[in-house]
Amino acid sequence: MGSALAMVAGTAACYNYGEPEVVIRDMSLDATWRTVNANLHELVPDWDANRPFPEHPLDWPATLVGCEIGDDSRLTGPPWSVSVETELIDLEQSELADIDRGLDALAAQGYVSGKVGSSESTEDRHVENGEGFSVHLRADEQSGTYQVVSVSPCIRFDGDDKY
Domains of the chain are: 24-162 (3.30.2030)
Residues 6+ apart with CB under 8 A from 159: 29
Distance of CA 3 to the CA centre of its chain: 19
Q: Is 21 buried (19+), middle (13-18) or exposed (0-12) by CB count in 10 A? A: exposed
| The residue type at 32 | T
Confidence (pLDDT) at 116: 62
Confidence (pLDDT) at 122: 65
Confidence (pLDDT) at 140: 86
Query: What mean pLDDT do residues 79-87 have?
Result: 95
Confidence (pLDDT) at 27: 93
Query: What mean pLDDT do residues 65-78 have?
Result: 84
The rounded mean pLDDT for the chain is 83
pLDDT in tens, 88-146: 998 888 888 889 899 999 999 999 987 665 556 667 889 999 999 999 999 887 888 99
Residues 6+ apart with CB under 8 A from 47: 5, 37, 40, 41, 84, 86
Of 20 and 31, which is predicted with more confidence?
31
Confidence (pLDDT) at 69: 82
Core vs surface per residue 22-59: b (16+ CB within 10 A) or e = eebeebebeebbbbbbbbbbbbbeebebeeeeeeebee
Q: How many Cβ atoms sit within 10 Å of the Cβ of residue 161?
A: 9
Of 1 and 156, which is predicted with more confidence?
156
Confidence (pLDDT) at 34: 97
